[in-house]
């Protein structure tokens, strides 16, 4: 398992493209990669699945093709409780 955090942060466009391609190549060879990033475009380009950790809770996991930036934005705000559009309550245990 390869864990990368903000893999293209602070690099130029050419280096960013190179890093993204290297991650895609590793993934194609069967390497599991956990990408931690605030850059949604980067996540949608690199990842085949996406989830959000917010407020100590893990969102549902979705295929990147089955979600969009709007839904991910709601998740980033913690809006992935039992009912669509509801925030987790204080009584709900945190899971990560």
pLDDT digits (tens, 9 = 90+) for 81-92: 654 444 444 445
pLDDT at 89: 47
Domain boundaries defined on the chain? 1-39, 48-96
Instruction: Check pLDDT > 70 for residue 58.
Output: yes
pTM: 0.74
Strands, E assignment, the chain: 2-5, 33-36, 49-50, 53-54, 57-58, 62-63
Q: Do residues 20 and 42 touch, judged by C-beta distance below 8 A? A: yes
pLDDT digits (tens, 9 = 90+) for 14-52: 999 999 999 999 999 999 999 999 999 999 999 999 999
For residues 62-79, average pLDDT: 94
């Amino acid at each position: 398992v390869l864990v990368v955090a903000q893999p293209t942060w602070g690099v130029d466009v050419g280096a960013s493209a190179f890093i993204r391609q290297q991650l895609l190549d590793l993934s194609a060879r069967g390497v599991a990669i956990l990408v931690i990033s605030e850059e949604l475009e980067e996540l949608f380009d690199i990842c085949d699945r996406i989830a959000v950790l917010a407020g100590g809770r893990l969102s549902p996991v979705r295929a990147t093709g089955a979600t969009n930036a709007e839904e991910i934005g709601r998740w980033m705000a913690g809006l992935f409780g039992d009912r669509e559009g509801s925030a987790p309550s204080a009584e709900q245990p945190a899971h990560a």
